[in-house]
Amino acid sequence: MPSSVVSAWLRRAIVCLFLCCSPAWGGTLLPERLPAEAEAALARAGLPADALAVQVVEVGAAEPRLAHRTEASLQPASLMKLVTTYAALDLLGPAYTWNTPVHVDGPVEDGVLHGNLYLKGEGDPTLVMERLWQLLRRVQQLGVREVRGDIVLDRLAFDLPEGDPGAFDGEPLRPYNVAPDALLVNFKALQLTFTPDPDRGIARISVDPPLAGVSVDARVPLDHTAGCSDWQAGLRGELGGTERLWFRGAYALACGEKTWSLAYADPGSYNARAVEGMWLSLGGRLRGWVRDGVAPVGVPPLFTAVSPPLAEVVRDINKYSNNTMARQLFLTLGLVQHGIGSQETAERALREWADAKWGATPELVLDNGAGLSRESRVSAAFLTRLLQAAWAGRVMPEFIASLPVTGVDGTLKRYTASPQTAHLKTGTLRDVSGVAGYVLAASGKRYVLVAIVNHPRAAAARPVLEALIDWTAKDLP
């Protein structure tokens, strides 16, 4: 054999031996060098390479195209929702629904219920204003126009301590800080709609849902000169009160009609106020109170309100990164798997699921299951395994359909990288930015992409993430 052939054969054998013995990734050597486009974007953003963890691998394959700091323990922000939603689809099935049974404990005569009306919460994350209206309207259609007793709200399916809604970031009126509730009514939020009336020099204010005992200014002066960039600040709202919300400023005419969603300042009383306000707005009468309590046990309900299926709920969670819905789903897993929805049972349910799929997963720290946390942790390698499993699993269509599409919808609507080719969940917090999901490349191959930045300048990392999406989509070397 010629010496040149022997030499070439020997080099290949040595490389093969090194690759096969390396423990980094299933026995293969990891490509650690970042793409030039990503390195340039990091430099422009003032981010060091060790702020980024990234992994790119073809679906169904073992050897990655790119792997950099894949085992690093990182804050995932809303990428944690991938864990919760995939676990829920896998454990409960896409057609799973939540029930809200409605009970009475007395006779109904001539439209009058001589007793109490009960709404029993079982964790439904979709009991928004329209569905609450339908539920109470159904009560009236079944003959109950007046309740001589109380309307009782059973919230015992979840066992949660009282919490401070502003504890995470000092923003208690932000809707994303609303805590879960077994009977979660309209996300405990208010929607204020401002409609300009130039002829009268005012903007009319409408509020949904109506809250019993809470008044909101009906109008605010128009500002004909201000721009619309900071219209909420211009209103100078006093929004922390529990019985009155008012505005000391003006509304910019240039804004046209706008809506403002905010969490109610007293979440503990929101359900009772919303149910009473909606009941009265439908023409119902109530002699007693709306209060918390326990629904009758072993008694058939008057009827049961049923939520949309889990596949639709997961789509809302992932497309729009809804934290409250994700936390409701997290606790639902604890309720279904262990009989009550609590932080402990939810964590146990997901940990059991993850360990059954992948063995011990110490790199996974769930906290609240939504990623709105400084305690949650995950690695790019773990999310890659999860996304590979989801691609090969029975709920793959529903899971992928729940992810935002680049340049099209959800939290990726404003992304310009490779439009319409990537289904990716986003994750954003102060000091955290990331994407994870699937990218369809020009070659027809589909890749798993996970990229997470943890750094004080993470807010500047979007061009880095977009460069990685483009690099993956173009099948670049």
Cβ contacts of 191 within 8 Å, gap of 6 or more: 207, 208, 259, 260, 261
- Range 132-144 average pLDDT: 98
- Range 307-311 average pLDDT: 98
Distance CA 260, CA 233 (A): 12
Does 268 map to a domain? yes
Does 2 map to a domain? no
Question: Residues 369-388: pLDDT tens digits?
Answer: 999 999 999 999 999 999 99
For residues 214 and 288, state if they share a domain.
yes
- Range 258-275 average pLDDT: 96
pLDDT at 164: 85
Q: Cβ of 226: how many Cβ atoms within 10 Å?
A: 17
For residues 281 and 343, state if they share a domain.
no
pLDDT at 477: 62
For residues 414 and 454, state if they share a domain.
yes
Number of helices (H) and strands (E) in the chain: give both, helices first. Answer: 12, 22
- The angle, 0 to 180 degrees and rounded to 10, between the axes of the packed helices 80-92 and 380-392 is 30
Helix (H) or strand (E) holding 154: strand 151-154
Last residue of a domain, one of 307, 340, 364: 307
Q: Please give the distance of CA 476 from its chain centroid, rounded to a whole number.
A: 33
Is 476 or 58 the better-scoring residue by pLDDT? 58
For residues 377 and 440, state if they share a domain.
yes
Asked if pLDDT for residue 16 goes beyond 60, the answer is no
pLDDT at 28: 37
Last residue of a domain, one of 307, 337, 370: 307
Are 273 and 214 a contacting pair, CB within 8 Å? yes
- Report the b/e string of 184-199 with b at 16+ CB within 10 A: bbbbbbbbbebebeee
Asked if pLDDT for residue 22 goes beyond 90, the answer is no
Asked if pLDDT for residue 147 goes beyond 70, the answer is yes
Task: Point out which residues pair with 275 in neighbouring strands.
Answer: none
pLDDT at 293: 98
Percent over 90 (pLDDT), the chain: 90
Asked if pLDDT for residue 407 goes beyond 50, the answer is yes
Q: What is the CATH number of the domain that holds 159?
A: 3.50.80.20
Q: What is the CATH number of the domain that holds 31?
A: 3.40.710.10
For residues 369 and 437, state if they share a domain.
yes
DSSP code, position 427: E
Task: Point out which residues pair with 438 in neighbouring strands.
Answer: 423, 448
Cis amide linkage into residue 94, ω under 30° from 0? no
Q: Tokens standing for 325?
A: 């819905």
Asked if pLDDT for residue 14 goes beyond 70, the answer is no
- Range 197-222 average pLDDT: 96
Distance CA 53, CA 36 (A): 15
DSSP code, position 78: G
- Range 245-269 average pLDDT: 96
Helix (H) or strand (E) holding 151: strand 151-154
Where do runs of H (alpha helix) occur along 282-342? 310-320, 323-338
For residues 325 and 433, state if they share a domain.
yes
pLDDT band, very low/low/confident/very high, at 338 (cuts 50, 70, 90): very high
> How distant, in Å, are the alpha carbons of 108, 131, 144, 306 from that of 284?
14, 17, 8, 22
161-165, 194-198, 268-272: segment of lowest average pLDDT? 161-165
Does 358 map to a domain? yes
For residues 87 and 169, state if they share a domain.
no
- Range 12-23 average pLDDT: 37
- Report the b/e string of 89-101 with b at 16+ CB within 10 A: bbbbebebebebb
Task: Point out which residues pair with 113 in neighbouring strands.
Answer: 108, 147
pLDDT band, very low/low/confident/very high, at 9 (cuts 50, 70, 90): very low
Of residues 291, 289, 288, 285, the one with CA closest to residue 271: 291
- The angle, 0 to 180 degrees and rounded to 10, between the axes of the packed helices 80-92 and 323-338 is 40
Task: Point out which residues pair with 405 in neighbouring strands.
Answer: 423
Last residue of a domain, one of 307, 338, 360: 307
Question: Residues 165-190: pLDDT tens digits?
Answer: 888 888 988 999 999 999 999 999 99
Does 7 map to a domain? no
Asked if pLDDT for residue 204 goes beyond 70, the answer is yes
Does 18 map to a domain? no
Does 223 map to a domain? yes
**Token pair 């932080």 in the structure block, residue:** 343
Q: Tokens standing for 39?
A: 């390195």
For residues 129 and 198, state if they share a domain.
yes
Sequence-ordered strand ranges (E) for 1-150: 52-58, 66-68, 99-104, 108-109, 112-113, 117-120, 146-147
- Range 242-261 average pLDDT: 96
For residues 185 and 264, state if they share a domain.
yes
Does 329 map to a domain? yes
pLDDT at 4: 42
Does 11 map to a domain? no
Of residues 167, 214, 170, 169, the one with CA closest to residue 188: 214
Whole-number mean pLDDT of the chain?
93
Distance CA 469, CA 82 (A): 18
Domain count, the chain: 2
Of residues 179, 188, 184, 187, the one with CA closest to residue 160: 179
For residues 245 and 351, state if they share a domain.
no
For residues 163 and 74, state if they share a domain.
no
pLDDT at 32: 65
Question: Residues 421-455: pLDDT tens digits?
Answer: 999 999 999 999 999 999 999 999 999 999 999 99
With 0-12 CB in 10 A as exposed, 13-18 as middle and 19+ as buried, what is 106? middle
Give the domain range for residue 67: 25-95+310-473
For residues 426 and 302, state if they share a domain.
no
